[in-house]
């Protein structure tokens, strides 16, 4: 089985709380960043969907935490499609440490497809369903500025 879509980011200082770990609400921000890139990979991005009068709305975000992420950690978000319905779809996101693959959290996001202006539900096309079901295995988007230091 090929690896799922991956989005990598580096935790910034301002994303941490007084406990010196990533503030819980940031995990939703991270998911939004990752899903934006995932949709760009699958459909050309949010602008491409809007050009077709399509938009997505989050109707559910559920997360379970396993371990904290901290300042300067590189976090990997792996996205796999979970369910594709008639007007909605769900994605599974696994958050992990890049250096050792230690699980940090897992989340499920449920989206409803809507008309961009009226916000009324729209039926997913067969092509849209096919792309969502296939996902983007093996694709990696890296915003962590990862590099190996030469010593």
| The total number of structural domains that make up the chain | 1
**What is the mean pLDDT, run by run of 10 residues, along the chain of 151 residues?**
86 96 97 97 94 97 98 97 97 97 98 97 96 93 70 44
Per-residue model confidence (pLDDT) at position 3 = 78
Does a structural domain hold residue 149? no
Residue 20 sits in a domain of what CATH number?
Answer: 3.10.129.10
The residue segments making up the domain with residue 119 are: 5-138
Residues with Cβ within 8 Å of 33's Cβ and at least 6 positions away in sequence, in order, are: 7, 9, 143
Q: Is residue 143 part of a domain?
A: no
Confidence at residue 145, expressed as pLDDT on a 0 to 100 scale: 75
103 within domain boundaries: yes
DSSP assignment of 82-120: EEE-SSEEEEEEEEEETTT--EEEEEEEEEEEEETTT--
DSSP 8-state secondary structure symbol assigned to residue 4: P
Q: Give pTM, 2 decimals.
A: 0.92
d(CA 68, CA 47): 34
pLDDT at 144: 87
* C-alpha neighbours within 13 Å on the C-beta side of residue 136: 21
- Let me know if residue 151 belongs to a domain: no
pLDDT at 146: 62
How far apart are alpha carbons 81 and 143 in whole angstroms?
22
């Amino acid at each position: 089985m090929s690896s799922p879509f991956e989005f990598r980011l580096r935790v910034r200082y301002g994303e941490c709380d007084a406990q010196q770990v990533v503030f819980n609400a940031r995990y939703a921000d991270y998911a939004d960043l990752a899903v934006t890139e995932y949709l760009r990979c699958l459909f050309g991005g949010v602008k491409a969907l809007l050009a077709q009068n399509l938009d997505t709305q989050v109707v559910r975000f559920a997360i379970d935490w396993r371990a904290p992420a901290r300042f300067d950690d590189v976090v990997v978000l792996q996205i796999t499609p979970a369910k594709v319905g008639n007007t909605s779809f769900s994605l599974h996101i696994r958050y992990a440490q890049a250096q050792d693959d230690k699980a940090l959290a897992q989340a499920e996001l449920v989206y409803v497809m809507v008309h961009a202006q009226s916000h009324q539900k729209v039926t997913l096309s067969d092509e849209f369903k096919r792309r969502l079901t296939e996902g983007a295995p093996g694709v990696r988007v890296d915003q962590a500025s990862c590099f190996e230091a030469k010593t």
